[in-house]
Each structure stands twice: as C-alpha cells, then as structure tokens.
Amino acid sequence: MSSAGIRAGCENTGGLVFGDDYARFIEVSELAQTPDQKGKRHRNAVEQRNRMNERYEAIFADNQDILDGARVLDLASHDGRFSFAALKAGAAHVTGVEVRQSLVDKAHETFAYYNQDPETYRFVCGDVFTVLDQERFDVDVVLCLGYMYHTYRHTELMYRLHNLAPGHLIVDTMVARGTQPTLRLICERDTEDIRSAAKDPYSVGRVPVLWPSVPALEMLLRAYGFDAESMYDWKSRLANRPAVTGLDGYANGTRVTMRCRFDESVITSAWKPAAKPAASPQVAAAAASQPAPASQPAPASQPAPAQPAGGWRERVNRVLAKTTGYELRRASTKP
C-alpha cells in the first residue's frame, strides 16, 4: 500500500474543458494520426480530446492551489499542451524543455494561435539532462509528466531536481506492478516514435528505460528530498465510466499521478569528501610549542635474513625419501 495519501478527484468548477476548448493541440498533433506510415495505430482525435480533458482535471485543476501564480518547469514538454494547461490553471510563467525541435516548433505555433502572451512562456530545445546541467531555473513547480518511464537515469534526474529545490513536483508516470521497491527494465524499440524515449547518447539502437514500482518511486523521491504528499484517485474518477483509450493504465494502476513537496532542510549542492577533523586549539598550541625534532640519519640497510640450510632440492628429497623411497638427482650432461 502506498504511503502517499489518495487525493480525491474533483470536477473542474472553472468551466474549462481543456481538450475541447484548445483543440488546436489535437489538430496539429502527430499523436492523432491513425494509422501512421508504419501501420501503428495512434489515438484518434476524439480519444485524444477525451484523454486531454481527463488529464487536465487530474494534473492541473486538482493542483490549482500550487499552480496559481507559480513559475513552472515542464520537462519533456512535447508540443507544449501541458505547458499551456499550466498557464490556464493559473501559472504566471512556464518553461518547457523538449529535445525534438519539431515539437518545440509546434508549441510556438499553437501558443501564437491562441494569442498567449510571449512573456509568459519559453521553450528550450535540448536534452533534459543537458539543459538541467547547464541552465539555472528559479521555479516553484516542476512537471515531470510522461517522462520518468522513458529514461533509466532516474538518480541523475532526481539529483538535478533536488538542486533546483522547487516547492512542488508533479510526477505522472507508468509504474511496474508490485508492493516491493523494484525497477522493470524495458528496451524501447522505436526511438523515432514521438511517444517513445528520445535517442540516448549511451544507447545503441534500442533505448533501455526503467519503470519503477510505486514503492520504488516513493523511495527514490524521498532519497532526494521529495515527500509524496498525495496520489490522485484515478480509480474512483474512472469508475462506472466508458473506457477511454489512453486511460487504461490509470484505471488498472499501472500509471499514477503523484504530487510531491520538496523538503528544503535536505538541500545539498553536491557530495564532497569528508574533511579531516581539525585538532582542538589546545592540541594545536601544544604541537606548535614543541621544538622541531632533530634530523636523524637514515637507517643503514639491513642484510636479508639468512635462508634455512639446504636448498629446495634437499627439502623436496627429504619428503620424497620419506614417502616414496626415491629422490631427485641432476641428470648427467655428458655424452
């Protein structure tokens, strides 16, 4: 059983139905093409709209209290749909980080289509780990939505987020089944699919990724100073409703949405070697008052200890004679 409390879902009281009101994200989305050139079926426009509506309610409307007026960092921001959702939930500014330039271009296009104030958003095209290492962000909330199960570098990711020290982190991820802290290793086959992991500099062909179980996810979060405050109650929200394509993971417990608070008392900039303890003032003063020891001549080299009498052949022969009655003799070299 998860230690995070279940956060009951609530209906949006603001009148916003995200997928319906901002359908442009679906119109330009490659996720809504069915089927694609490789015969792989993507979600159609209706399925995509329904999924966006449900996820907006669970991730944004239900967390409006921490998003209102917040500076938000959206990791793996895709085509910007959830960066936009954060703004519609009250965020003051959002920065999206996305490695695929084509998706960044779509985000800019759609934001402009809806006349979103350019001062309220920024998109960075680059690898999440590289960007987090090279840039410094001052943010209140980090969104890690649909990304954690597309990487195996969880400790590096959490280390970077720890050093950001945001007030809150919202994680939405696929999880492995089980009540023990485990990681499930998966190799994603098609890195060109925009729903799959981006190519990793340390992979060859397929990209290995890890799915944590819920206990493993909570353990990982705690190790880097994030307390799992609550987990959204998807089961209750989806109960007695027609199945929605793309939400089956939430319904069966293999995908979770978790809200985490950062504990500032555990902030550390980096691991450093432990310093050698300093001597007390009394010991240091006593050492300083002692005269320097006179230099001593180097000790003369000592001869090597004498070897026991008899060489190795004699010792072997004594054993052979005792046990077999034979001994070793040097072979004659004379013709």
CATH number of 5-266: 3.40.50.150
CB-based burial of residue 193 (10 Å sphere; 0-12 exposed, 13-18 middle, 19+ buried)?
Answer: middle
pLDDT in tens, 147-161: 999 999 999 999 999
Distance between CA atoms of 224 and 4, rounded to whole angstroms? 16
pLDDT of residue 244: 79
pLDDT of residue 273: 43
pLDDT of residue 243: 81
Distance between CA atoms of 240 and 316, rounded to whole angstroms? 89
Cis peptide before 35 (omega within 30 of 0): yes
Task: Record the pTM.
Answer: 0.75
pLDDT of residue 202: 80
Question: With left for phi above 0 and alpha for psi between -120 and 50, is residue 246 left, alpha or beta?
Answer: left
* Residue 144: other Cβ atoms inside 10 A: 21
pLDDT of residue 75: 98
| Secondary structure of the chain in HEC code, one letter for each residue | CCCCEEECCCCCCCCCCHHHHCCHHHHCCHHHCCCCCCCCCCCCHHHHHHHHHHHHHHHHHHHHHHHCCCEEEEECCCCCHHHHHHHHCCCCEEEEEECCHHHHHHHHHHHHHCCCCHHHEEEEECCHHHHHHHCCCCCCEEEEECCHHHCCCHHHHHHHHHHHCCCEEEEEEECECCCCCCEEEEEECCCCCCCCCCCCCCCECEEEEEEEEHHHHHHHHHHCCEEEEEEECHHHHHCCCCCCCCCHHHHHCCEEEEEEEECHHHCCCCCCCCCCCCCCHHHHHHHHHCCCCCCCCCCCCCCCCCCCCCCHHHHHHHHHHHHCCCCCCCCCCCC
pLDDT of residue 261: 97
Residues of the chain with pLDDT under 70: 1-3, 6-15, 31-42, 190-195, 197, 268-313, 316-317, 319-335
pLDDT of residue 238: 92
Contact assessment for residue 109 and residue 28, using Cβ atoms and an 8 Å cutoff? yes
